[in-house]
Amino acid sequence: MKEYNGHRSWNAWNVLLWINNDEGLYRYGRDCLKRANGKPGRAAQLFMRAFKGEKTPDGAVYNHLAVKLALTDD
């Protein structure tokens, strides 16, 4: 798989940018992490309940893997 700017894909990179740079998405993601006891996989499931089928303004799909990677603190 080809990387994009050091990320798994363009989609994963774009979702991460939007979650980390939009205050509302960032707060919602952090809230999901808090409710999931810091577990990114579970937090992504919670996040996806609200955003399933949604896309970033750039057209990247919010999917479980991209959201999980965005919510993972590395």
User: For 27-66, how does the pLDDT look when each residue is reduced to its tens digit (9 = 90+)?
Assistant: 999 999 999 999 999 999 999 999 999 999 999 999 999 9
Spatial distance between the Cα atoms of 52 and 66, rounded to a whole number of angstroms? 12
- Which residues make Cβ contacts (< 8 Å) with residue 49, sequence separation at least 6? none
C-alpha to C-alpha distance for 47 and 15, rounded to whole angstroms? 12
pTM above 0.75, yes or no: yes
Are 71 and 40 a contacting pair, CB within 8 Å?
yes
pLDDT band at 3 (very low <50, low <70, confident <90, very high): confident
Of 11, 8, 3, 4, give the one whose Cα is nearest residue 60.
11
pLDDT score recorded for residue 1: 58
Question: What are the tokens at 4?
Answer: 């994009």
pLDDT at 33: 97
Q: Where are the domains of the chain?
A: 10-71
